[in-house]
Amino acid sequence: MPQEFLPPEQWFATLPTAYLSAFGLITDESGNVLIVDPNYREHWTLPGGVVEDGEAPHLACEREVAEEVGLRLTPGPLLAVHWSAPQGVRPKPFLAFVFDCGTVGPATEITLQAEELDGYAFVEPEKAARLLFPPFVPRLGAALEARRTGSAAYVM
């Protein structure tokens, strides 16, 4: 007896889904990491944000970096993917993509998105780790290591 398959629209509706975000790892010539201070949460983060419906993560990274810090950068290699399990009011997992957005020079002008951000800083990676939301710290470490080694990382 041949196996019956669901019509494509019904089959796709059965698949798991996740929320997506994309961030840019940007450093200065000394290796300091660009972090931003959102006005809607307590901890600092890398420039980036939520991927819009149907948007590719690398394009979301490019858009978010431009919106948040005014830098028109083309994201380079994927450095890390960070999977976060559902928790609290968030019923689905979150996948955060971190792309290499390169190194900027000392004359680079940062223009903050005033509606969302209170500040920015280029800080040593160790200081960035102290300022970030604790669950995001492994994402930063993995991205820095991936940039150094050339191998993308999967973070859980």
Looking at residue 1, its pLDDT comes to 64
Note whether residue 31 is domain-resident: yes
**In a 3-state reduction of DSSP, which class is residue 5?**
coil
Note whether residue 7 is domain-resident: no
Interacting residues of 93 by C-beta distance below 8 A, sequence separation 6+: 18, 19, 83, 84, 85, 86
Note whether residue 8 is domain-resident: no
- Structure-token pair, residue 53: 């419906």
Q: How many structural domains compose the chain?
A: 1
Compute the distance between CA of residue 123 and CA of residue 106 in angstroms, rounded to an integer: 13
- Containing structural domain, residue 38: 16-155
Compute the distance between CA of residue 21 and CA of residue 45 in angstroms, rounded to an integer: 12
Note whether residue 21 is domain-resident: yes
Note whether residue 141 is domain-resident: yes
pLDDT in tens, 45-68: 999 999 999 999 999 999 999 999
We report the CATH number of the domain holding residue 143 as 3.90.79.10
Note whether residue 43 is domain-resident: yes
Note whether residue 2 is domain-resident: no
User: What is the maximal distance between C-alpha atoms in the chain?
Assistant: 70
Note whether residue 22 is domain-resident: yes
Per-residue pLDDT 10s for the chain (156 aa) are: 667 889 999 999 999 999 999 999 999 999 999 999 999 999 999 999 999 999 999 999 999 999 999 999 999 999 999 999 999 999 999 999 999 999 999 999 999 999 999 999 999 999 999 999 999 999 999 999 999 999 999 999
